[in-house]
Amino acid sequence: MDLQGLLFRFGGRINRAKYWIGIAAIFAFWLVVIAIVELLPFGTFGDTPSYVVLGAGSIGAIWISLAVSAKRLHDRNKSAWWILLFWLLPAVLMGVGAGIGMSSFGLPPVLAGAAIVIWAFVEFGCLRGTEGQNAYGADPLPPPEKREPAGPFRTESAAPPTNQSAPKNGPRASA
């Protein structure tokens, strides 16, 4: 999947690595938006033009976040509707808890919202997707038998081939 598909399309599946690339792209996007607000000659944060740039940036970041999250949920064989549980419910619970105050009545909704946020982190960023084909497409990872081990964990069979034609005792001297 190309970068445009990763960031702007909702169909298909992505693995954990591409999910984290998408999250890094969102952070980079926000750095650019903030730099535009700070560097362009229309004042500082709080001026109307800065709100326009930040609003447009928010729409872009939300779109990218939804697209990346939907594809990651698809890899976990879940509908994109689960985004409502992982995004909306924690916001509502934490808002209710903060509105009530951190008393004995406000703390449980805040803790429930925090628990859902932790669950979302694990679901999106830590757990492997469904192996093989699922309702949302093919597995973005190759089958285990076709994966190449990385770095120092290579086995002999996965090690790059060596030059077998060179003599082991050095060059022979001519007689």
Per-residue pLDDT reduced to its tens digit, 155-165: 555 555 555 55
- Residues 149, 127: Cα–Cα separation, whole Å: 19
pLDDT over 70 percentage in the chain: 80
Question: Is residue 139 a contact partner of residue 132, using CB atoms and an 8 Å limit?
Answer: yes
Q: What is the pLDDT of residue 39?
A: 82
Looking at 78, 101, 116, which one is the last position of a domain? 78
Phi, psi (deg, nearest 5) at residue 138: -75, 155
14 shares its domain with 86: no
How far is residue 5 CA from its own chain's centroid? 14
1 shares its domain with 73: yes
pLDDT over 90 percentage in the chain: 55
Q: What is the pLDDT of residue 35?
A: 87
Instruction: Count CA atoms closer than 13 A to 55's CA, side-chain side.
Output: 7
State the pTM of this model: 0.75
Q: Is residue 112 part of a domain?
A: yes
Q: What is the pLDDT of residue 174?
A: 54
- Residues 49, 61: Cα–Cα separation, whole Å: 18
pLDDT per residue over 5-28, tens digit each? 899 999 999 999 999 999 999 999
Average pLDDT rounded to a whole number, residues 121-135: 94
One-letter amino acid of 75: D
102 shares its domain with 122: yes
Question: Is residue 141 a contact partner of residue 119, using CB atoms and an 8 Å limit?
Answer: no
Beta-carbon contacts of residue 20 (< 8 Å; ≥ 6 apart):
125
1 shares its domain with 52: yes
103 shares its domain with 127: yes
Looking at 14, 43, 78, which one is the last position of a domain? 78
Domain that holds residue 103: 81-132
Q: What is the pLDDT of residue 113?
A: 94
65 shares its domain with 103: no
Question: Is residue 106 a contact partner of residue 100, using CB atoms and an 8 Å limit?
Answer: yes
17 shares its domain with 70: yes
Q: What is the pLDDT of residue 106?
A: 86
* Number of domains the chain is built from: 2
Looking at 78, 107, 122, which one is the last position of a domain? 78
Q: What is the pLDDT of residue 45?
A: 62
